[in-house]
Amino acid sequence: MSAVADTHTQEHHHGPARGFTRWLLTTNHKDIGTMYLVFSFTMFLLGGSMAMVIRAELFQPGLQIVQPEFFNQMTTMHGLIMVFGAVMPAFVGLANWMIPMMIGAPDMALPRMNNWSFWLLPCAFLILVSTLFMKGGAPNFGWTFYAPLSTTYGPPSTTFFIFAIHIMGISSIMGAINVIATILNLRAPGMTLMKMPLFVWTWLITAFLLIAVMPVLAGVVTMMLMDINFGTSFFDASGGGDPVLFQHVFWFFGHPEVYIMILPAFGAVSHIIPAFSRKPLFGYASMVYAVGAIALLSFVVWAHHMFTVGIPIAGQLFFMYATMLIAVPTGVKVFNWVATMFRGSLSFETPMLFAVAFVILFTIGGFSGLMLAIAPSDFQYHDTYFVVAHFHYVLVPGAIFGIFASAYFWLPKWTGHMYDETLGKTHFWLSFIGMNLAFFPMHFLGLAGMPRRIPDYALQFADFNMVSSIGAFTFGATQLLFLFIVIKCIRGGKEAPAKPWEGAEGLEWTLPSPAPYHTFETPPEVK
């Protein structure tokens, strides 16, 4: 118990402050982690309600609920909010909560910056969401904001969108610096790099990716800002600029970005599957190398998003081969997870259900990714619903199920109570059914020829769109159940022991539940 601070004598100046200032001024990693997670879930519901508008409009052919202008604003804002507001902050929240407790550190290395990087986020999203109420409406050019649609032809609110992106970029970079500084400097004595928990490893690599690519995003939006307001022509062909340059720069950010959204989930699942298999993770070292390989390859595959823009054949072949190569380390990870389960002693509590669904459904998303990597076939898949199906399969059951699995896994540690297992399983099964019903038919729609980002469609696409909308409504409504489960768990429930999961490993489980406000003020010894 030496790991826990002797709160008896220090209570008067070490407990949390009272009232709103506790949250506004906090430098405590647990408080900041909680704020990130609450913010992320709020954005998840907001972005999700936009998805509901999209699916309601697509329920039937014809324009019923919204006009095409507003439909385009919904698809754009849904994408931006889910990527930058829901998924990324959720992982930063998990990192804040878990990394110090996993490596035996008292807090994050840079606590004041930690506070700032969180509080920038609500500001950025206030600006972004306020564009919905501006003259000319919110950004309507898709989350990829291709020039010149977003520059010469963009609505007046585009400048606010650029400012919002800049602020969230600063927040992400500071978050990443903090993670790296913490992991490299504050590990408990004896915890060498190759003894680090995988969630820590994946976050370390993610943080380097963030530092590498967020400035590129900032660069591309700054060039847009100049084109719109200061008369430059970076992306304007009539002024000697190049619209394709935009896509190269954007996807140089955009492709590592998709791994930023999935690698921490890989890490979390690599904790959960061994815990509920009651067996150590298979191939720890190869897992680390695979994540490193995926991260490196992510820098040399960006043009696979651009197979139809007319890049030369040599480029086309290079990006096709490089993209196919990613299947190798990704495959290694999947094989390792399956081998971990093999001949284990399995039980299926809610975190395990989400983790197993993660492996299966992410692999399906990986298969469609492999199909998309084949450049000639991509000419038929590109910008159709097949792509929509693909990235929702890697992001919803990938990133989001990974986050849910982590939340259920660590909720007892955070709150000191067990969540309601029956409700948790209900949440899982409804999410699982809703998600597959929503996204699996999109493969068929894309192969039948339905382009993405259209508010209305030809009649042969009617049936699967209706099925997909029903699935989306199911999935969306189910997420309110998660809110209820978490609130219920915070307010009470069966008391959680220090280590609620029989097979769980790691320093966080040596702490009592709920984890005290300050932990590991004296570093533990790792053998």
Partner 1 sequence: MRVHAKRAGALLGGLMFPAWSQADWTLNMRPGVTGISNDIFSLHMTILWICVAIGVVVFGVMFWSIFAHRKSQGHKASNFHENTVVEILWTIIPFVILVIMAIPATATLINMYDTTESDVNIRITGYQWKWQYQYVDDNFGYFSNLATPPDQISNREDKGEHYLLEVDNPLIVPVGKKIRFLVTSNDVIHSWWVPEFGVKKDAIPGYINETWAKVDEPGIYRGQCTELCGKNHGFMPIVVKAVPQPEYAAWVSDQKAAAEKERELTQKDWTMEELVARGEKVYQTTCAACHQPDGSGSPPAFPALIGSPVATGELAGHIDVVFNGRAGTAMQAFGKQLSEVDLAAVITYERNAWGNNMGDMVTPKQILDYKKQQQ
Tell which one of 310, 487, 491, 527 touches partner 1 (CB under 8 A): 310
Among residues 117, 158, 323, 330, the one annotated as catalytic is 330
CA torsion, ordered 390, 248, 252, 118, to nearest 10 deg: -90
Q: Which tokens in the block code for residue 281?
A: 């993770």
Q: Which tokens in the block code for residue 203?
A: 């976050």
Decide if residue 64 touches partner 1 (CB under 8 A): yes
Which residue type does 150 have? S
Tell which one of 359, 394, 442, 504 touches partner 1 (CB under 8 A): 359
The rounded distance, in Å, linking the Cα atoms of 424 and 410 is 13
For the question of residue 270 being annotated catalytic, the response is yes
Instruction: Say if CB 386 and CB 443 are below 8 A apart.
Output: yes
Q: Which of residues 4-33 bind partner 1 (CB under 8 A)?
A: none
For the question of residue 248 being annotated catalytic, the response is no
Q: Residue 231 burial by CB count (10 A; 0-12/13-18/19+): exposed, middle or buried?
A: exposed
- Nearer to partner 1 by C-beta: 12 or 527? 527
For the question of residue 166 being annotated catalytic, the response is no
Q: Residue 55 burial by CB count (10 A; 0-12/13-18/19+): exposed, middle or buried?
A: buried
The rounded distance, in Å, linking the Cα atoms of 472 and 135 is 30
Q: Which of residues 364-383 bind partner 1 (CB under 8 A)?
A: 364, 367, 370-371, 374-377, 379-380, 382-383
For the question of residue 452 being annotated catalytic, the response is yes
Determine how many CB atoms are found less than 10 A away from the CB of residue 167: 17
Among residues 34, 75, 76, 171, the one annotated as catalytic is 171
Tell which one of 324, 430, 481, 498 touches partner 1 (CB under 8 A): 324
Q: What's the N-to-C CA distance of the chain in angstroms?
A: 17
Decide if residue 462 touches partner 1 (CB under 8 A): yes
Q: Which tokens in the block code for residue 179?
A: 């993670």
For the question of residue 469 being annotated catalytic, the response is no
Residues contacting residue 35 through CB under 8 Å, at least 6 positions apart: 23, 26, 93, 118
Among residues 29, 304, 417, 499, the one annotated as catalytic is 304
The rounded distance, in Å, linking the Cα atoms of 434 and 442 is 13
Q: How far is the CB of 285 from partner 1 (least distance, A)?
A: 8
Q: How far is the CB of 210 from partner 1 (least distance, A)?
A: 27
Residues linked to residue 495 through DSSP beta bridges, in sequence order = 417
- Nearer to partner 1 by C-beta: 370 or 498? 370
CA neighbours closer than 13 Å in the CB half-sphere of residue 480? 5
Q: Residue 9 burial by CB count (10 A; 0-12/13-18/19+): exposed, middle or buried?
A: exposed
Among residues 195, 278, 425, 452, the one annotated as catalytic is 452
Q: How far is the CB of 58 from partner 1 (least distance, A)?
A: 11
For the question of residue 381 being annotated catalytic, the response is no
Measured N-to-C along each axis, helices 158-185 and 111-130 cross at an angle, to the nearest 10 degrees, of 160
For the question of residue 518 being annotated catalytic, the response is no
Q: Which of 29-37, 253-261, 341-349, 424-432 is the region at the interface with partner 1 (rule: CB under 8 A)?
A: 341-349
The rounded distance, in Å, linking the Cα atoms of 464 and 59 is 9
Q: Which tokens in the block code for residue 110?
A: 């840079």
- Nearer to partner 1 by C-beta: 28 or 157? 157
- Nearer to partner 1 by C-beta: 101 or 138? 138
The rounded distance, in Å, linking the Cα atoms of 289 and 329 is 8
Q: Which of 17-25, 96-104, 178-186, 284-292 is the region at the interface with partner 1 (rule: CB under 8 A)?
A: 284-292
Decide if residue 55 touches partner 1 (CB under 8 A): no
Decide if residue 442 touches partner 1 (CB under 8 A): no
Q: Residue 268 burial by CB count (10 A; 0-12/13-18/19+): exposed, middle or buried?
A: buried
Among residues 29, 78, 187, 417, the one annotated as catalytic is 78
Q: How far is the CB of 214 from partner 1 (least distance, A)?
A: 24
Q: Which of 1-9, 83-91, 234-242, 263-271 is the region at the interface with partner 1 (rule: CB under 8 A)?
A: 234-242
Decide if residue 245 touches partner 1 (CB under 8 A): no
For the question of residue 330 being annotated catalytic, the response is yes
Tell which one of 117, 298, 384, 478 touches partner 1 (CB under 8 A): 384
For the question of residue 143 being annotated catalytic, the response is yes
Decide if residue 505 touches partner 1 (CB under 8 A): no
Rounded alpha-carbon distances, angstroms, from residue 216 to 139, 389, 398 = 20, 27, 25
For the question of residue 172 being annotated catalytic, the response is yes
Decide if residue 451 touches partner 1 (CB under 8 A): yes
Binding mask 69-88 for partner 1 (x = CB under 8 A): x--x----------------
Which residue type does 516 have? P
- Nearer to partner 1 by C-beta: 342 or 484? 342
Decide if residue 506 touches partner 1 (CB under 8 A): no
Residues contacting residue 16 through CB under 8 Å, at least 6 positions apart: 22, 26, 28, 31, 517
- Nearer to partner 1 by C-beta: 346 or 498? 346
Q: How far is the CB of 386 from partner 1 (least distance, A)?
A: 9
Q: Which of residues 97-156 bind partner 1 (CB under 8 A)?
A: 135-136, 140-142, 146, 148-149, 152-153, 155-156
Which of 396, 477, 482 minimizes the C-alpha distance to 440?
396
Among residues 259, 337, 410, 501, the one annotated as catalytic is 259
For the question of residue 259 being annotated catalytic, the response is yes
The rounded distance, in Å, linking the Cα atoms of 200 and 445 is 39
Catalytic residue list: 78, 107, 143, 171-172, 255, 257, 259, 270, 304-305, 330, 333, 452
